[in-house]
Amino acid sequence: MKLPEGMRILTPAKGVYAYYDGRLPGYHFAETPNWVDEGALTLGIASYALVAGHQAIVYDTHVTVDHARAIRRHLERLGVTDFTVVLSHRHLDHVAGTEAFADCRVITNALTAAHLERDRAAIEAGTLGGLPAIAPLVLPTETFEGQMALTLGGERIELIQLNIHSDDATVLWLPERRILLAGDTLEDTVTYVGEPEGFDAHLRDLARLSALGPLHILPNHGDPDVIAKGGFGSGLIGATERYVALLRSGRAPESLAEAMPLFDTGKACRYAACYEAVHRENLARVAELAQ
């Protein structure tokens, strides 16, 4: 089966597939400015699928329809005929492939659905976040508030709404195996802070994630080798909490490499130079909020 250039399929746990693309030297979606490179492939990005028999839960639809179609083809070859899509939040690199699952159940929390409905025209025109446009954008068929439970092959899958990274995050929690599919609530090397005014909520909900006691954390943006080996430990949550606190203090060094010993005390993260730009943007947003 031919995959989009740069895309590889990882298997971090039994019945869990990560469709990873990016974080490759010299690899670009396009030569002109675009959100696929800037917000996703430069950092590396994974969408996930949980599979049991003929059923699958697809967690995010990746950065293009071609990526989403490749995910669907792979799952169909595994014998999947019943698809449920869960979107982690409204950002473009997570919803771009919804067209490939237009005939499926698509679940989001109610806030994500409201954001997508509000921004649909701009997303389809390519004026929200820039090109490429996502047209058509398939809207959710079902919403929830707070928490929702699904069952896949007899295993309980919990959808938990949070305010981390964005105010409309949804993570997937597999309590029997203590696996957390974190979306963008956790990232390696550091979280992308789009909404610094929400720091109090972010820290409160990071504490909620910590209380779950995950053994395996699978973020959408992270080191592919770590994801392939089963994901990150719970130390990634503590590192993220300390990083947010460091940003809020106004004392974070401008260099991410210099900042890491201040928040990554347990060496939970993997330094990636591509996150220096993310760190600089985080500092700028926090400084702007403080003015």
**Mind listing the domains of the chain with CATH numbers?**
8-290 (3.60.15.10)
Q: Helix 256-263 vs helix 235-249: angle between axes, to the nearest 10 degrees?
A: 120
DSSP symbols for 24-73: -TT--S-SS--HHIIIIITT-EEEEEEEETTEEEEE---SSHHHHHHHHH
What does the pLDDT average to over 200-223?
Answer: 98
Is this structure's pTM higher than 0.85? yes
Look at residue 291 and tell me whether its pLDDT is greater than 80: no
* Average pLDDT of the residues of the chain: 97
In this structure, what token pair is assigned to residue 72?
A: 């669907």
- DSSP secondary structure letter of residue 197: G
Q: For 142-188, how does the pLDDT look when each residue is reduced to its tens digit (9 = 90+)?
A: 999 999 999 999 999 999 999 999 999 999 999 999 999 999 999 99
- Grade residue 277 by pLDDT with cuts at 50, 70 and 90: very high
% residues pLDDT > 70 (the chain): 100
Short-list 100, 15, 114, CA closest to 60: 100
Which one, of 252, 232, 248, lies nearest residue 289 by Cα?
248
